[in-house]
């Protein structure tokens, strides 16, 4: 089939939008990352790699935000993947009851992050929140505390909100993957005497590997972009215990007017996310070849 060259004209609007809103800002971030621009004045000086060196070797807050991001990421990836897979296994059949619960679990995803932040800030509130009284009611009053005010657990409290927020979303990906597993394989395994765990470990888990890779990769990237949720709930506090890379970039630019410095941090974040994305695509392509 031959295509007219005029069809390529339809690519121009999308290409212009991509160039304007992605390529130019990316090039701008690289450019300003080697300057000391404050975001307001037209004059600035080139500082080379000084911003990058300072971030990696001297900035304690940046390294703390990187560590917080890692804690947040690991908690979200592990538990969100496990919970979403369990829910998918339970709700795989297309019954009316299961469809209702799928919609119920998916519902938080359609809420705005700021709305979710306000809801959970109220739930976590030490004096007026409902979480501490609930724990006391079920006999766990000994762990009553300030969930967002304790530096040791604040980042994990935020991770729990992120898990609640998006588990229903990635559950749909798992359901789609599970429904594509041939039923004949389960029937043959049952005839051969395989139990539930053997059917899961030998059939289900290997065949949903592409879905799992997609869920994990998406969740990792999502964890690096949780700015609105974190900023609305804690603003990065207390004592930078919930500061993650995106809130560090925001505070550096708009609170300290170090736009060049913030650009260097954003480039580092961009490299991390790009690396994770490349690994994700490689794993997905490898799984396609194997299966």
DSSP per-residue codes, 46-68: B-TTHHHHHHHHT-HHHHHHHHH
pLDDT band at 290 (very low <50, low <70, confident <90, very high): low
The residue ranking higher by pLDDT, 134 or 55, is: 55
Cα dist from 27 to 20, 40, 202, 284, whole Å: 11, 19, 47, 29
Query: Considering the domain boundaries, does residue 46 fall inside one?
Result: no
Model confidence over 89-123: pLDDT tens digits? 999 999 999 999 999 999 999 999 999 999 999 99
Q: Contact 72/163 with Cβ under 8 angstroms?
A: no
Highest mean pLDDT among 38-47, 159-168, 201-210: 159-168
SS3 state at 217: helix
Mean pLDDT of 54-65: 95
Query: Considering the domain boundaries, does residue 6 fall inside one?
Result: no
At 178 the pLDDT is 94
Mean pLDDT of 149-161: 95
Query: Considering the domain boundaries, does residue 106 fall inside one?
Result: yes
The residue ranking higher by pLDDT, 65 or 7, is: 65
Is a pLDDT exceeding 70 seen at residue 2?
A: no
Is a pLDDT exceeding 80 seen at residue 286?
A: no
SS3 state at 42: coil
At 289 the pLDDT is 54
Query: Considering the domain boundaries, does residue 51 fall inside one?
Result: no
Neighbours of 49 (CB within 10 A): 11
Q: CATH number, domain at 142?
A: 1.10.3720.10
At 174 the pLDDT is 96
- Residue 86: which domain range? 60-290
Q: What is the share, in percent, of the chain residues with pLDDT greater than 70?
A: 95
Is a pLDDT exceeding 70 seen at residue 210?
A: yes
Query: Considering the domain boundaries, does residue 284 fall inside one?
Result: yes
Number of alpha carbons in the 13 Å side-chain half-sphere of residue 216: 15
Query: Considering the domain boundaries, does residue 119 fall inside one?
Result: yes
Average the pLDDT over each of 153-167, 190-204, 248-262, 276-290 and give the range with the smallest value: 276-290
- The whole-angstrom separation of Cα 118 and Cα 120 is 6
Mean pLDDT of 227-251: 94
Number of domains in the chain: 1
Query: Considering the domain boundaries, does residue 1 fall inside one?
Result: no
pLDDT band at 267 (very low <50, low <70, confident <90, very high): very high
Mean pLDDT of all residues in the chain? 90
- Helix then strand then coil, % of the chain, to nearest 5: 75, 0, 25
pLDDT band at 144 (very low <50, low <70, confident <90, very high): low
At 5 the pLDDT is 75
pLDDT band at 226 (very low <50, low <70, confident <90, very high): very high
H or E element in which residue 30 lies: helix 24-32
At 217 the pLDDT is 87
Query: Considering the domain boundaries, does residue 40 fall inside one?
Result: no
């Amino acid at each position: 089939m031959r295509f007219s060259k005029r069809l390529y004209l339809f690519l121009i609007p999308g290409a212009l939008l991509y160039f304007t809103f992605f390529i130019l800002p990316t090039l701008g971030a690289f450019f300003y990352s080697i300057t000391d621009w404050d975001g307001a004045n037209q004059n600035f000086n080139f500082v080379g790699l000084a911003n990058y060196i300072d971030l990696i070797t001297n900035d304690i807050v940046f390294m703390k935000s990187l560590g917080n991001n890692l804690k947040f990421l690991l908690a979200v990836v592990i538990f969100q993947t496990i919970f979403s897979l369990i829910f998918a296994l339970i709700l795989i059949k297309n019954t009316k009851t299961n469809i209702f619960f799928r919609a119920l679990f998916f519902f938080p995803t359609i809420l705005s992050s700021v709305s979710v932040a306000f809801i959970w800030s109220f739930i976590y509130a030490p004096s007026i929140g409902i979480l501490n009284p609930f724990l006391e009611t079920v006999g766990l009053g000994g762990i009553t505390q300030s969930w967002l005010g304790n530096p040791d657990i604040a980042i994990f409290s935020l991770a729990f909100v992120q898990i609640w927020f998006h588990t229903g979303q990635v559950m749909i990906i798992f359901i789609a993957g599970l429904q594509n597993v041939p039923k004949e394989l389960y029937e043959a395994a049952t005839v051969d005497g395989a139990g539930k765990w053997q059917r899961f470990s030998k059939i289900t888990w290997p065949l949903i590997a592409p879905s799992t890779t997609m869920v994990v990769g998406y969740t990792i990237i999502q964890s690096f972009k949780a700015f609105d949720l974190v900023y609305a709930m804690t603003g990065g506090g207390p004592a930078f215990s919930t500061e993650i890379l995106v809130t560090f970039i925001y505070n550096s630019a708009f609170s300290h007017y170090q736009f060049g410095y913030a650009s260097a941090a954003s480039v580092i974040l961009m490299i991390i996310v790009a690396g994770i994305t490349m690994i994700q695509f490689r794993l997905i392509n490898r799984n396609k070849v194997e299966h």
